[in-house]
Chains A and B, each alone.
Chain A
Amino acid sequence: MANKVIGYNIALKLGTKKIAGTTADNFTTEGRRKESIMKSDQGNKQYENDGVNMTFSVQAFLMKTEVADTGLMGIGDLRKAAAENQTAAFVYGGEASGDDIVTGTAMFLRVSETSDSENFATVTIDLELIGDPVFTTVAP
């Protein structure tokens, strides 16, 4: 039987690290289409898949990390990664044996921070796929 997945069981790992304080991940997969029409198509457009676009948008609390937080990216790491358009091997999906995952390389596009006078500061991190993704499952 198919089962629903609770949100916190879906994780994004970039290299060996996760983004500290993550509250939500948005992941979009969109097939890239190539449109064509020839006289022989008699007015009907033809579509052909030409790869895939994948984008990530991660919402998180703005977190300071310490030296001991080796598995986490804090705000300093994120600002640097976006400024330099760093790339990282990503794994997105469940973490239990047999869970569906997507792997590949992602590029940091931007880091947007929000800080008001009362609440904890938050950050949104945008990334996109570079190259081709691999659809697989977590090894047992």
Chain B
Amino acid sequence: MILEAIGTILNPIVDNYPLVGDIEAAPPFAVFEVQQRPIMTKAGINGYSNTVFITAVDIKIPALMALSQSIKTAIEAAAGYTINGTTILAARFREENQRFDEQYQVNINQLEFMIYTNNI
């Protein structure tokens, strides 16, 4: 599944969690979620387009941006590989947005990727 594949890609880089509820984690860490849409043809499903949001969290901006760059490189390098049974056809970084969370005193960078896969 794409969620497992994203986790596997991020594991060597940073602690990471699928966004499924409250998370208690110490920075740096990343949280990810996937919006998956089947690519329909009249003959049936011909792959999936996945909009992947990875939220990187760290205390200092320079460290956060370095972490973000590592995530971008790793995600885009996954194209052409099968990870946890998910074959990744193409992976593209789309955009990122930074903000500062006053309550937790952390910097946050949300990265958006488009990932095309052969299967879920």
Residues of A within 8 A of B (CB): 7-8, 11, 18, 21-25, 60-61, 118, 120
Contacts and interface: CB of A to CB of B under 8 A. Distances in A.
A21 B92 contact: no
Interface of B: 39-43, 46, 92, 114, 116
B53 to A, nearest CB: 17
A103 to B, nearest CB: 19
A21 B41 contact: yes
Contact of B42 (A23, A118, A120): A23
In the A-B complex, the 3 residue pairs with the closest CB atoms: A22-B42, A8-B42, A21-B41
Given A21-B46, A61-B46, A120 B116 contact: yes
B92 A118 contact: yes
Contacts of B42: 7-8, 11, 22-25
Q: Which secondary structure dominates chain A's binding surface? A: strand
B92 A22 contact: no
Nearest to A72: B43
24 contacts: A7-B42, A8-B40, A8-B42, A11-B42, A18-B43, A21-B41, A21-B43, A21-B46, A22-B41, A22-B42, A22-B43, A23-B40, A23-B41, A23-B42, A24-B42, A25-B42, A60-B41, A61-B39, A61-B41, A61-B46, A118-B92, A118-B114, A120-B39, A120-B116
A8 B41 CA distance: 8
A86 B114 CA distance: 38
A112 B99 CA distance: 44
